[in-house]
Amino acid sequence: MNTSNAARLGLILLLAPLLVWLLALVILPHIDMLLISLRERVAPQVYERSFANYAEFFTEPLYWRTFARTAIMSISATALTLLIAFPVSYYIAKMLRGRLKGFLFLLCLVPFWVSELVRTFGWMILLRESGVISNVLQWTGLADGPVEMLYNDATIMVGLVYTSMLFMVVPLVTTLDSLEDSLVEAGYDLGGNGLTVLRTIIIPHAMPGIVSGCIVVFMLTLGNYLTPILLGGKSSMWFTAQIYTQFITRFNWELGAAFGFLLLALSSAIVWTGLKLSRQTLSESMG
Amino acid sequence: MDLAKNNKSFDLECRDLRCNFGSFVAVDNVSFGVPEGDFFSILGPSGCGKTTILRMMAGFLEPTSGDILIKGKSVLNVPPNKRPVNMVFQHLALFPMMNVAENIAYGLIRQGVNKSDVSAKVNSALERIGLPGSGEKNIKQLSGGQQQRVAIARCLVLEPAALLLDEPLGALDLKLREHMKVELKKMQSQFDTTFVYITHDQSEALVMSNHVAVMNEGRFEQIGTPQDLYYNPNTAFVAGFVGESNRWHGRVDEVDATGIRVSTAEGVSFLAVPAGKERLAVGDAVDIFVRPESVVIAHDETRAHEMDNRLSGNVISVLFNGANSRALVREGRSGGELDVALPQTGEFSNLAVGQKVFLGWDQAQAKAFACPSGNNQGQGT
Ligand SMILES: Nc1ncnc2c1ncn2[C@@H]1O[C@H](COP(=O)(O)OP(=O)(O)OP(=O)(O)O)[C@@H](O)[C@H]1O
Ligand SMILES: [Mg+2]
């Protein structure tokens, strides 16, 4: 009795800071945001409860188109990141041994030693009209005049994939590392070819890593602000930029808060669908 | 018998197989053939290159030189998934993402067997390994021995030319290991397949095999039946590795038609015979091996009297183990220890520590091997 009481007290004490943090920084602001999003300004300083902000989102095409575009771009960026990161991770985890393995893994980390802002400016220096690549193309005679490579969707995609790579590689390397070589060998020994071994053994084993990597990358991409704005400019049409505009430029906190909640709902819905489609559970992939 | 000669059709054959890792020679010119339906074991200490041979046969490792033939055809350029041999891995390598039935079905599906045949074959395999109705179970729900049987059945349903087993009993506890030895032999006759079995445990090799190859430092020391290896070892390594032996080191004093006389550094003199193809001359350094069960033990001197070699000593410990009971005797003159098997008559049931006993053995039971380095001294098991 006594010991279980003591254990419970210990648990409460350990959890207390976490609960305070959750309450103060996550739950309270969100409740406030929810309340803000549910009111409408009828006259200066006079507010009424209404769903007008949410209604505006659905009636104004620009808003929901930006919304849909952001979702689709984020899903594509996540898929692209997975496609690129998987072979890289497999190579690091299974083909390399010893020091080279640690070195390459570290190499994936290096870009994250500088801030996202600096990294993105790096891309801009390379890709802008008067940038390195444009100059090289002109110098080699492959292009007649300056080439602008910024401010299009492909560039945004490159930036997003680049920013997300590490968050995909880390969970993938970790799960692939725990795949025993003998399982892969047994897969071949019993008559499987490269594709069947990948499909029936390697991917099912790596599934928790794939799912957690995808969730993290998707969330980061959807909520990314800097990369789409800097690399895509005005044409980026990113939903977080829309939220920023409402809060800061328009000073329309009500609409901004509503957008924030829509983004939350969207990301939760997409993650839930993804988990259902891949028949994984959140606890499995995060555990 | 010489299994390396290609005068008979072998299921599996290796010719002058060699494998180098950099400058290290892991497998050194190994040649052997495994007849159809044979239980062939490769026995050797850890690190001698057993797994390396098996991985070359399965196709995971390319030989530096030499040839591997399955059913008479070279498979050097055949990838592992196309070779008609299957491997049971040291830690089984059952697929944890599949259930028992899916594990067994994996290879069948890859062979393009149609669905209804697959499930029929899987069920019959489960039946034969004594796990009917366990198809839906998760791999982790099976005991060690059951997992073992699934791993073997998974290969045997594919009807391979040969099944390669890499120390499959290594991970099991002693009791289960004893049981699985019998089980494995039974499965082999049930599925009627050639087995190539790797182990560092001599009792596994001796109990189950028709033929055993003893391997040391990348080479085959001897290939033969278990009886052959036990009673007629060709090299000192085989004599020491297969079964227990008492061992002395000495020099040849005399050579005659019946054998040799050897004296040890402690001044004890023995009659022995050159083992296998050994040619010994006076002055050669030799190792003498005597099996514990070849040594006759007696309470009084007369019993051991007619033996060619005689010693006396005091019992320093009695290791009672039913039919395999032993006594450790300290020899009076040299102070060396001898391992002696106790007869099962019960005559020595009250043998006490410190008691004086007389020992003797025939000249033919003492096998002498030339010892090239000459610095290998002492005695023991
Ligand atoms: N990939 C490799 N690179 C370098 N050396 C290797 C490699 N694989 C094995 N070896 C060496 O080859 C030798 C034989 O290895 P092998 O795995 O065949 O031994 P084994 O007889 O199976 O031993 P055990 O009974 O411990 O499994 C060992 O000394 C090992 O260090
Ligand atoms: Mg091995």
**What CATH number is given to the structural domain containing A159?**
1.10.3720.10
Evaluate if residue B379 carries a pLDDT over 50. Answer: no
Ligand nearest to the CA of B42: 1
> Is A274 inside a domain boundary?
yes
B7 lines ligand 1 (CB under 6 A): no
Q: Of B120, B200, B186, B119, which Cα lies nearest the Cα of B152?
A: B186
The per-residue pLDDT for B33 is: 93
B19 lines ligand 1 (CB under 6 A): no
What integer is the mean pLDDT of B41-51? Answer: 93
The per-residue pLDDT for B332 is: 80
Mean pLDDT check: name the lowest of A39-48, A82-91, A186-195. Answer: A39-48
Evaluate if residue B6 carries a pLDDT over 80. Answer: no
**CATH 2.40.50.100 region(s) of chain B?**
244-370
The per-residue pLDDT for A193 is: 93
> Is A235 inside a domain boundary?
yes
The per-residue pLDDT for B376 is: 43
What integer is the mean pLDDT of A263-267? Answer: 90
| Contact check, Cβ <8 Å, A188/B155 | no
- Residue B26 burial (CB count, 10 A): 21
The per-residue pLDDT for A286 is: 62
- 3-state SS string for A68-83: HHHHHHHHHHHHHHHH
What integer is the mean pLDDT of A257-273? Answer: 91
The per-residue pLDDT for B3 is: 46
Give the mean pLDDT of chain B. 88
> Is A168 inside a domain boundary?
yes
The per-residue pLDDT for B169 is: 86
Interchain CB contact of B319 with A (< 8 Å): no
What integer is the mean pLDDT of B341-360? Answer: 86
> Is A228 inside a domain boundary?
yes
Q: Of B139, B153, B158, B214, which Cα lies nearest the Cα of B186?
A: B153
Evaluate if residue A110 carries a pLDDT over 90. Answer: no
Write out chain A residues lying below 8 Å of B95, CB-based. 183, 186-187, 200-201
What integer is the mean pLDDT of B96-107? Answer: 95
The per-residue pLDDT for B373 is: 64
Helix (H, G, I), strand (E, B) or coil at A33: helix
Quote the number of domains for chain A. 1
The per-residue pLDDT for A160 is: 93
Evaluate if residue B304 carries a pLDDT over 70. Answer: no
The per-residue pLDDT for B194 is: 93
* Chain A residues 148-187 with CB within 8 Å of chain B: 180, 182-183, 185-187
Evaluate if residue B89 carries a pLDDT over 60. Answer: yes
- Write the DSSP symbol of residue A139: H
Rounded CA separation B88/B180 (Å): 14
Beta bridge partners of B247: B289, B380
**Boundaries of domain holding A263:** 62-286
- Cα A14 to the center of its chain, rounded Å: 30
- Residue A160 burial (CB count, 10 A): 27
Confidence class of residue B58 from pLDDT cuts 50, 70 and 90?
A: very high
> Is A11 inside a domain boundary?
no
The per-residue pLDDT for B1 is: 45
Evaluate if residue A11 carries a pLDDT over 60. Answer: yes
Q: Domain B3-237 in CATH: superfamily?
A: P-loop containing nucleotide triphosphate hydrolases (3.40.50.300)
The per-residue pLDDT for B378 is: 42
**CATH 3.40.50.300 region(s) of chain B?**
3-237
How many helices (H) does chain A have, and how many strands (E)? 15, 2
* CATH annotation of B244-370: 2.40.50.100
Ligand 2 centroid–CA B54 distance in Å is 9
Which of residues B352 and A90 earns the better pLDDT score?
A90
